[in-house]
Structure 1
């Protein structure tokens, strides 16, 4: 089995520690995986003058604070399983830059939805969105406390629209559902804003719904053959996709959405659906970008 690396970002906040717990459970489910816990810290050149506090003393305090937070995070991870392989490091640089660099050598990056500042200053909401939009690997944003996948029987929810983006998200979602031995809920919606309101009454909604169900079945056919032991639940509705996914998240252990690809402006590549789910889902959210085969 190929050894995988799961990176968890910490800043000492409760949300960050929930992300560490989630990442530790995920590493445990991927047998032989390494959990890497990372804290970003200020660069030495960014000393803030404090009376009676030299630049050297300040940096020592920054480093000591980061190490203390890593100690707590490692203790949390080993509380999940003492047999986990755990790496840890405090790295100089901004949270966004450190995590994007980590993503180039990781199979998964896990971070909290929102944390707090201080010496390490990690996991602000904008950081989560930016990392999810630009990371080189899938990113899980842990939104709610208590998101522990060990023994969690809640289903995995994934959005399906037939695009290359959703194909990659489907592969990720099926893999998670298979390892957790939980059902997969495939959500497919249709909502034609181009239709004039007065013409809606003339549309055979039942016929359209049946067509959309058939489309979803076609999209799932290959994956169900690859993962025959995964129970598939289909949810097809005339609705906005983001709100259907948010609604389904209430009973889910994880929601999986796709990202469009790479770009320059933070957040612009997630799309309105991914952004809405990240901000409103009631469970952890995985953002998965297309692989080269599906780009």
Structure 2
């Protein structure tokens, strides 16, 4: 730690457990991360933990007596940034407990450590994907694959990207009908219930039949619809207030999800599954192009 113990603000009279961890890097994407963190804190009634990992690349020519001065100035600037983020969240969610931390070192170990026992890790991406940005570069890929909790990459549509569509105001979950997407489905239903919104469960399939045989396509579509129904079995009973629309689409999964995401509050996918509904290379493409925030949910280890 660079700035002493974490600084906490606010109180709800609840246990400060399973926080919403927010990784802030001082970029434009922080605005979206702060906004989504406030939404999640309000919905889940969880505390917020703001984290900035500070790596200080001091030039070799800086005199030793100046290093501490530079370090102190940088830490002060980061604390100001975190303080402003805390004020914005507190204004949106009065009384929410907020912790601010400035951590010395790289963002990967700092954030991975703080995902243990967390409800969610929120990162910002800015309005457009940029492979040079920290969160959506190798750091984000590592966090998505190894975080101990779901990771939400917050973004808004960029100019020219669609802002309305069939999913406007709803949550979209990609379902590949394997056990890998089961936790993503669970997360999506819970999120929809907490936000008081509807849910689109989308399953996309690519036809094995390359011939012009509509009859075979109908058979395949019926089979895929059956798989989707099985993957969703029991969830509407658990969350009866969540209106669910099932979509079975003949298309590449990442394209189907990108199109369905227009206007969505959130897109939810699993990680490491078949049919590209999980976060592999196609999922990375979804992060680049989907005009909505995306939550990536890794399967939990049971037992």
Where on the TM-score scale, by shorter chain, does this alignment land: which range?
Answer: 0.7 to 0.9
Alignment of structure 1 residues 15-94 onto 2, 5 Å: 15-31=29-45, 33-42=46-55, 47-49=58-60, 51=62, 54-94=66-106
Match of 1:168 among 183, 188, 191: 183
Match of 2:165 in 1: none
Gaps of at least 5 residues in structure 1 are 116-120, 147-152, 262-268
Query: Partners in 2 of 1:63 and 1:222 — Cα distance?
Result: 50
Gaps of at least 5 residues in structure 2 are 1-13, 128-132, 159-167
Match of 2:21 in 1: 7
Q: Does 1:141 align with 2:150?
A: no
Query: How far did residue 293 of structure 1 move?
Result: 3.1
Question: What secondary structure sits across from 1:233 in the alignment?
Answer: strand
Match of 2:10 in 1: none
TM-score of the two chains, using structure 1 as the length reference: 0.84
Query: Partners in 1 of 2:90 and 2:252 — Cα distance?
Result: 41
Q: Does 1:154 align with 2:169?
A: yes
Query: How far did residue 289 of structure 1 move?
Result: 0.3
Q: Does 1:280 align with 2:289?
A: yes
Query: Partners in 1 of 2:157 and 2:32 — Cα distance?
Result: 6
8 A contact 1:137–1:289 mirrored in 2: yes
Q: Which runs of 4+ in 1 moved over 4 A?
A: 50-53
Query: Partners in 2 of 1:175 and 1:50 — Cα distance?
Result: 54
Query: Partners in 1 of 2:205 and 2:279 — Cα distance?
Result: 19
The number of residues matched between the two structures is: 271
TM-score of the two chains, using structure 2 as the length reference: 0.81
Alignment of structure 1 residues 95-114 onto 2, 5 Å: 95-114=107-126
Query: Partners in 1 of 2:170 and 2:186 — Cα distance?
Result: 15
Q: CA RMSD in A?
A: 2.6
Query: Partners in 1 of 2:109 and 2:126 — Cα distance?
Result: 17
Which has more helix, going by share of residues?
A: 1
* CA pair 228-124 structure 1, distance change in 2 beyond 3 A: closer
Identify which range, 214-223 or 154-163, moves more after superposition: 214-223
Match of 1:130 in 2: 142
Query: How far did residue 50 of structure 1 move?
Result: 5.2
